[in-house]
Amino acid sequence: KKFPSDRTFVSLQCKQSVMELHHSDYSGSVPVKSTPGHETEWQDVTALPCGLQSDQIEVSYLYLAVQKGHNAIVSGKVAKLGPQVNTKRPWPCRDKFTPFHMYSVDHVYTPLHIASQYDQEEVARTLIQYGADVNLKDSQGNSALVYAIQNNNAKFVQLLLASGADVNTTCRTDTALDIASRGGFAEVVELLLEHGAEVRSAEPFNLSPLHFMSGAGRADICDRLLLKGAGVNEQSLHGQTPLHCATDNRHHTTMRVLLERGADLDVRDHRGLGALHLAAQNGDTDAVMILISAGAKFSKDNDGLDPLGTAASLGHHGVVRIMMAARAECLPDNAGLGPLHHAVESQSYTTVKLLLEAGLDVDLRDGAGRTPLHLAARRTSSAILNLLLKSGADVNRPDDRGWTALHYAVDTRNPHHVELLLKSGGDVRVRCNEGWTTLDRIQARLLPGREISGGDRLEVLSWPFDACAHEIFKHITKVKCANTHACQDLFGEIPRSSVYIEYEKICAREFQKMSETRFQNTSVCVAELLNEDINILARYSQNYDIQCVIEEERFQEHFPVYGAILASRFAAGLHRRSLLDRSLEVFLRLTTRLPVLSVECYYAILSHLQDKELTKLLFME
């Protein structure tokens, strides 16, 4: 039977045409074209013989009509079927299923389930009018209400609830409220609460609706959930509270609501993270201020990292500034790494500068004996390395393996760091616990198979060019020409190539010039700054004439070879002087009952203390 060209047709004799639209099942009898405006064709289709029982034909067509939203057809079919409106659809076909068939091997469902799945609200209203059971569940445990919630269809949810749907219906272990809150469907959540939904959850991870709404930032709904008895400090399977969820998602208003309702600031999750840790991780300064103002503690996580260390490790200098102003303790983690170590590792110059200005120990050692300078030497930021050196970091302090910062710079093949460390007083003669120097390390790298002896004469003439070795040989040449005893045992290791012979002449001429040049209005010659004791340099740093000359841009132009070393030495003297001055103020306040001595005497006493000891004195008050 064939219909006019503008109307749908289905013919058992035209199976290929049918398959072009939708594949048929094994019987070849399922009509598949159903669009609004073709109700007449539909009636014709239902009259075709198809090899199924009459009730199966009616149910099959009803399901397809429901899906497509043919309310007129649904009304007629439902009136004819009567009680079968609540019949769950079976799967009589044995093979050749396609996604287009309405038969499902996964779900056994009623027409109302289909209407709910496909948002056919008017069809659902008709089905309910004819007695469809709104609480019947399919084979997966889903009621029509569950499908409506999953579709975030508030009008459909309202229809079902008004028709007697169970507001606390469950799907497996989830309640209707769990499903709505997990999806962030705020309007649906409000409807469920209005109809008396239970706020407690049986969700497998123990994430309650309050957790989900806190994470979604719906402060108004959170307040309603709390008023209905939701647990403000209820923890999930992983230990998270609603405050964790709100903080981690930067919902500040929700955080305030939870805190006003009694949220515990210091509850920690399974990793030991409190809300303040999460705010620090996110670099969320507003959240940090809210939590600190509410009295949050700077507790450690399972790795021993406190919120300050967390912020420093991620380079969140805004958070670090707030925490330092709140007088956060600068505690090391389980590996002995302090906030300054973490800031150096994050390569955040601003964070490192903030912590140094706050007086953190620049030479704090971690569990492996490494200082922040060791970590900076193996990283890429020369600015941070220079900042640590200017702040008084001990350039030659070894770690537990005997490695200095210079060893790390050589090991990472960073000639710029090698040059900077040498200009700041790095000693190329230091041997690690294995007995090798930085030059030994370079030799082993350049000449594979040769053991590091630590005592043999280096075969430098056979070396390929190495940028780090080049900086070291230049430095030894500078020291040799400065008439000092440092590195004297290495003078013979300088390659006798034309490059270094010429460089030695340049160094000698410049040193002679430095020896003949005195700072204005002083008896101090420029060359003296190379070898003077740090306390003498601290005294020189008080001289305005010396300071002005060294800080001039032209100074290093006048002394291109030694200028950077001189500036570094003077900067170390300035740092030492600052420590001495601040320590003197503290010392005088702590020794009010002792005999009064001259300021010079006090300076003489304090000059015997190392920078680390002076720093400790500053925090004794």
What's the pLDDT tens digit per position in 429-483? 899 999 989 988 888 887 766 555 544 545 555 566 789 999 999 999 998 898 7
Asked whether 273 and 312 are in contact (CB, 8 A), the reply is no
Q: What is the pLDDT of residue 60?
A: 54
590 pLDDT tier (thresholds 50, 70, 90): confident
362 pLDDT tier (thresholds 50, 70, 90): very high
Asked whether 342 and 309 are in contact (CB, 8 A), the reply is yes
More confident residue, 205 or 428: 428
Asked whether 40 and 70 are in contact (CB, 8 A), the reply is no
Nearest to 491 by CA among 426, 435, 439, 414: 439
137-147 burial, b at 16+ Cβ within 10 Å, e below that, comes to bbeeebbbbbb
Write the pLDDT tens digit of every residue in 495-529: 888 888 999 999 999 999 999 999 988 899 999 88
Q: What is the pLDDT of residue 389?
A: 92
What is the torsional sign of CA 529, 425, 332, 606? negative
Q: Is the pLDDT of residue 366 over 50?
A: yes
Unique residue bearing structure tokens 């949050």: 296
Q: Is the pLDDT of residue 38 over 50?
A: no
Q: Is the pLDDT of residue 348 over 80?
A: yes
Asked whether 563 and 506 are in contact (CB, 8 A), the reply is no
d(CA 422, CA 475) in angstroms, rounded, equals 7
Q: What is the pLDDT of residue 113?
A: 84
Asked whether 168 and 135 are in contact (CB, 8 A), the reply is no
Q: Is the pLDDT of residue 302 over 90?
A: yes
Q: What kind and span of H or E run contains 189? A: helix 186-194
Q: Specify the pTM.
A: 0.73
Helices (H), 359-466: 372-377, 382-390, 405-411, 415-423, 438-446
Write the pLDDT tens digit of every residue in 551-571: 887 888 899 999 988 988 898
Burial grade of 492 (CB within 10 A; 0-12, 13-18, 19 or more): exposed
d(CA 306, CA 338) in angstroms, rounded, equals 10
Facing residues of 174 across strands? Answer: 171
CA angle 270-283-372, nearest 5°? 85
Q: What is the pLDDT of residue 54?
A: 43
77 pLDDT tier (thresholds 50, 70, 90): low
Q: What is the pLDDT of residue 561?
A: 92
Strands (E), 568-618: none
Estimate to the nearest angstrom the gap between the alpha carbon of 321 and the chain centroid. 19
What is the torsional sign of CA 426, 432, 435, 437? negative
Asked whether 32 and 22 are in contact (CB, 8 A), the reply is yes
As a whole number, mean pLDDT of residues 223-231 equals 90
Helices (H), 249-365: 252-260, 275-282, 285-293, 307-313, 317-325, 339-346, 349-357
Q: What is the pLDDT of residue 280?
A: 98
Q: Which of 86-100, 285-299, 471-485 has the lowest mean pLDDT?
A: 86-100
59 Cβ contact list (under 8 Å, min separation 6): 81, 84, 87, 89
Q: What is the pLDDT of residue 37?
A: 46
